[in-house]
Amino acid sequence: MLGMLGGGQLGRFFVIAAHEMGYRVTVLDPDQNSPAGRIADVHLCRAYDDQAALKQLAETCAAVTTEFENVPAATLEQLAQHCTVRPGASAVAIAQHRVVEKTFFRDAGLPVGAFAVVNDKNDLPADDSPLYPAILKVARFGYDGKGQARVRTRQEALAAFARFNHETCVLEQMLPLDYEVSVVLARDAQGKVAAFPLAENSHLNGILDVSIAPARASEVIKAKAQALAIQIAEKLDYVGVLGVEFFVSEGKLLVNEMAPRPHNSGHYTIDACVTNQFEQQVRALAGLPLGDSNLHSHAVMVNILGDIWKSTEPAWDKSFAHPNLKLHLYGKHEARAGRKMGHFTVLGKDTESALNLALIARAELGIG
């Protein structure tokens, strides 16, 4: 029995992979309708700090992992006293907090964009600071562009900081982006790493929209991004699946942020790689050797958000008409604007043909 903290779509794909490999899974998630909870062998429908639920997880699971970074670090520490917990609480705690995360990257000598830590309104720089135009981001609980504001002046930054209830933030210089890429990798308990090919990502309204794998980047950028992601995993003595997001700005690679779990931009691996990111997560957690992370097709993944549910269900028949398109719906109970409801991946023998078809299929569903 393996344990999963969190019952979203990432947890659901983990349950599917674990089941195929002969494991049973207990999911802890307070939502009765959580996508992973609904297909788990045991769903503990409780809060992440519920003592009885944590006791049951510790007693019944050989190893526990997480599918989202906001699970309390104290929960992971507590579980670690009784069973294997991967990744460790300290790595998750770093990824939970933008200030700690950015400081960790900078102190490790990794390239990051210019930023300032804002604990107090006096920390907001004057208008002549080179940080403006900037993005103010709350340090905790941000995702999919939530808890972020674009600001051009100190006045605007003050207003945004007040809207964020004066919670600790980072103020990042708004970088001119050539494009964005990400690396998903798995690292096992012996320190062996299997990195997936670089994905190229584009966002719509702050949410991942399209991922292209392999990325249309130079070999130098590809090698550098993989090396940086591996460096991060090694510094953290990380065991599990790690996602690292990068900016390419004026030709330079900069680390944006990391996720201590499989990553949305790695969903293409389900259909296009020998071993997908969720099987790697199971393997790392269970102490098995990692699988082959090579790509066997060119792939383009498109996210499906709740926005396209109108009075009727989206026209899936149009998607199913494409033989190289693989649709994945997450079984969410209710569609809401901005909510990730599913994705599809188009496979092809080259990026251009896969991208052309993906954009047609995206338009057919009314995305964008």
Contact region with ligand ATP (CB under 6 A), list: 75-83, 137-145, 233-241, 282-290: 137-145
Which 248-267 residues touch ligand ATP, going by CB under 6 A?
A: 256-257
Token pair of 209 as six digits = 């929209």
Of 180 and 279, which has the nearer Cβ to Mg ion? Answer: 180
Closest contact distance (angstroms) between CB of 120 and ligand ATP is 21
Q: How many CB atoms lie within 10 A of CB 334?
A: 9
> By C-beta, is 24 or 339 nearer to ligand ATP?
339
Range in contact with ligand ATP (rule: CB under 6 A) among 10-18, 52-60, 125-133, 204-212 = 204-212
175 binds, among Mg ion, ligand ATP, none (CB under 5 to 8 A by kind): ligand ATP
Q: How far is the CB of 180 from Mg ion (least distance, A)?
A: 9
Q: Which residues of 152-180 are buried (b: 16+ CB within 10 A; e: fewer)?
A: eebebbeebbeebeeebbbbbbebeeebb
CA 190 to chain centre: 24
Stretch that binds ligand ATP, among 101-109, 124-132, 175-183, 275-283 (CB under 6 A): 175-183
* Count of residues that bind ligand ATP according to CB under 6 A: 20
Closest residue by Cα to residue 302 from 169, 196, 213, 182: 213
3-state secondary structure 200-220: EEEEECCEEEEEEECCCCCHH
Q: Does 178 bind ligand ATP (CB under 6 A)?
A: no
| Residue 22 CB, nearest approach to Mg ion (Å) | 34
B/e letters for 286-301, b = 16+ CB within 10 Å, e = fewer, are: beeebbebebebbbbb
- How far apart, in whole angstroms, are the C-alpha atoms of residue 266 and residue 198? 9
Residue 318 near residue 304 (C-beta atoms within 8 A): no
135 contacts 148 by C-beta, under 8 angstroms: yes
168, 117 in Cβ contact below 8 A? yes
Among positions 175, 189, 308, 357, the unique one binding ligand ATP when judged by CB under 6 A: 175
Among 18, 53, 208, 212, binds ligand ATP (CB under 6 A): 208
Indicate which of ligand ATP, Mg ion, none lies near residue 366 (CB less than 5 to 8 Å, by partner kind).
none
CB 295 within 8 A of CB 197: yes
Stretch 229-258: interaction string toward Mg ion, x if CB under 5 A: ----------------x-------------
Q: Which stretch binds ligand ATP (CB under 6 A): 12-20, 170-178, 273-281, 284-292?
A: 170-178
Rounded to a whole number of angstroms, the minimum distance from the CB of residue 97 to ligand ATP is 12
Q: Based on CB atoms, which residue is closest to ligand ATP, 88 or 142?
A: 142
- Helix 89-96 to helix 73-80 angle (10° resolution) is 180
Using the rule CB under 6 A, give the single segment among 38-46, 100-108, 172-180, 183-191 that binds ligand ATP. Answer: 172-180
Torsion angle defined by CA atoms of residues 135, 244, 198 and 241, in that order, rounded to the nearest 10 degrees:
-150
User: Where do contacts with ligand ATP occur on this chain (CB under 6 A)?
Assistant: 113, 135, 137, 142-146, 172, 174-175, 177, 180, 203, 206-208, 245, 256-257
User: Where do contacts with Mg ion occur on this chain (CB under 5 A)?
Assistant: 245
